[in-house]
A = this chain, B = another copy of it.
């Protein structure tokens, strides 16, 4: 970071930025259309058109629709990871709660591309589907949660006797399930009440 004397005239571009403008536009369009119509309902032609390009550009850049989907999952997870990992609290428990709050807000209030990730998650439920990319995303999410729990157990803010993996599993499942229910019928219940109940449930379940 503080890299000595040479000032960085050209700020480092992340891998994402280096990727062609067109590809990012296509991924954005894909995320939007998938959120609206599901994976199957989002056609490559429409994705291209919405991105401001042509019918054929998705195949040109990604080869196949499946490849586009995988890339979208990757990009979304990377962003998710950056978002959630930034959340920190004064101890493990508070970090965990901050992350849970971030998640609830990201989904319940339908920010950015997370809804698309959730829709793809829903599509992966069928058993013949190749759920690998989505399953990796689930695993990563659990690991981020497990990490906070571990921290909390180490610093004494979280009960040392709880089952680390199972708790993370239940917590991630809860967050996903709630977000999904809210997508199916938005506004079914006030978001504040849901957030409060979630955080209270997490706190009572895990605190030392």
> Which B residues touch A172, using CB under 8 A?
177, 181
Interface residues of A in 14-67 (CB under 8 A from B): 34-38, 40-41
| A126 proximity list for chain B (CB < 8 A) | 34-38, 41, 119, 122
**Chain B nearest CB: distance from A178 CB in Å?**
3
CB neighbours (8 Å) of A180 from chain B are 121-122, 125, 173, 176-177, 180
Majority DSSP secondary structure for residues of A touching B: helix
Let me know if A194 is at the binding interface, CB within 8 A: yes
- Per-position binary interface string of chain A over residues 91-124, scored 1 when its CB falls under 8 Å from any chain B CB and 0 otherwise: 0000000000000000000000001001101111
User: 0/1 per residue, A155-173, Cβ < 8 Å to B?
Assistant: 0000000110111011011
Residues of B within 8 A of A34 (CB): 126
User: Is A140 engaged at the interface, CB distance under 8 Å to the other chain?
Assistant: no
Q: How far is the CA of A173 from the CA of B126 in the complex (A)?
A: 19
Complex formed: what's the CA distance from A135 to B183 in Å?
10
Name the contact of A177 in the complex, choosing from B35, B178, B183, B205 (C-beta under 8 A).
B178
Hey, which chain B residues are within 8 Å of A85, CB to CB? none
Among A41, A126, A181, A200, find the residue whose CB has the most chain B CB atoms closer than 10 A.
A126
Partner of A173, one of B38, B162, B167, B177: B177
Q: Which of A129, A181, A185, A196 is packed against the most chain B CB atoms within 10 Å?
A: A181
A193–B38 alpha-carbon span in the complex (Å): 33
Which of B123, B138, B173, B185 is the one whose CB lies under 8 Å from A135? B185
**17 A-B pairs with C-beta separation under 8 A:** A36-B127, A119-B125, A122-B124, A122-B125, A123-B123, A124-B184, A134-B184, A135-B185, A138-B185, A138-B188, A166-B197, A169-B178, A173-B174, A173-B179, A174-B178, A177-B177, A180-B180
